[in-house]
Amino acid sequence: MIIKNANIFTQDGQFVTGDVTVDGDRFATVLSETAQKDEVVLDAENLYMIPGLVDIHFHGCMGADMCDGTKEALDTMSSYEASIGVTSICPATMTIPKDELVSVMKNAGEYTYQGGAHLVGINMEGPFISASKKGAQAAENILHCDYAYFKQLQEAAGGLIKLVDIAPEESGAMEFIDQAKDEVVISLAHTASDYDTAVEAIVHGASHATHLYNAMPPLKHREPGVIGAVRDYEQCHAELICDGVHIHPSVIRATFAMFGNERMILISDSMRATGLEDGEYTLGGQAVTVKGNLATLHDGTIAGSATNLMDCMRYVVKTVGLPLETAVMCATANPAKEIGIYDEVGSISAGKKADFVLLDKDLNIVHVFIDGKEVTC
């Protein structure tokens, strides 16, 4: 197949007009045509061609949740995410009872691909967090860092766990980082840590911040906290929920200015109500009310988002005012690099999986392709 005349988002982070050829499930050539006479041609004139999006932190959608622990839930999530241009998914767990979490991991580890977005990892959000910054997590299931338990979960998941979230101020956190840092990305999350403790965790090997600003102390001029520590260490990358609810546009702009584009990762943090109408839902076993983009527990605590990653990317461009190139990078290449799958996805490059999205000038989806095959949206 040849995609002709597309405005291609190249691996250099720029849009260049040209052609791309696909051979089977892989990109064959980019910006250099080697066509056969019987090749299928897709004219993409006036369309943006971007890599399939990579969401490394979301909980569910369309009534399904990662912690449902069923094949059907993963099927539903995979299908919906593909339909909105997310082609690689790394869903997040919650702070649920120990045995239930093992079952959830086992379900993911045994999951067989049925089409849709590829399951490329698991984001282990809890139970190693702080009760004081639990957000929508269930306090009764919070645990101190436990490397043996993590290994049990990783074995159940068949090695799919890519990120583990921890509160560095809690007992055993530094020892856990030392033990696990070469196996997974350690993320600072749901934490009341001060600056010095966060720096200590980074020095030990933490390199990621979960939904920056949310479920952590604010950045203050005398108490910079986790946010200041993460900013000061360039090996650290940070997630942002850009759904129009979690973070003000001005703060998003300031954060990109402080951190730089290459350190930012757009996430949706979406929960099971995403893609559905307003109403009552659950997250991690707790009741959640959804009205528009706002999802809250009954005490008013924000409980994840009800927005998908493609809409978050559009928001960053249309409302926040960041360049499209920046938004695409932070929803494709950056998350792919963070969980170690950039050799396969995250850019339109010869030899990589042919996962891509064609958008019109208003950023509406025109076509989605996964493994070189079009997905029905």
Core vs surface per residue 149-159: b (16+ CB within 10 A) or e? bbeebbebbee
d(CA 315, CA 252): 11
- Give the residue among 74, 48, 72 at the shortest CA–CA distance from 59: 74
Distance between CA 329 and CA 160 in Å, rounded? 24
Taking the C-alpha atoms of residue 343 and residue 330, their distance in angstroms, rounded to an integer, is 16
Active site residue 269: yes
CA 59 to chain centre: 10
Per-residue DSSP letters for 283-323?
A: ETTEEEEEETTEEEETTS-B-SBS--HHHHHHHIIIII---
Catalytic residue among 19, 65, 165, 269: 269
Q: Give the residue from 73, 72, 115, 113 showing the smallest Cα distance to 93.
A: 73
Residue pair 93/123 in contact by the 8 Å Cβ criterion: yes
Distance CA 13, CA 20 (A): 16
CB burial readout 303-322, b (16+ within 10 A) else e: bbbbbbbbbbbbbbbeebeb
Among 271, 268, 269, smallest CA distance to 64 is for: 271
Question: Mind telling me the catalytic residues?
Answer: 269
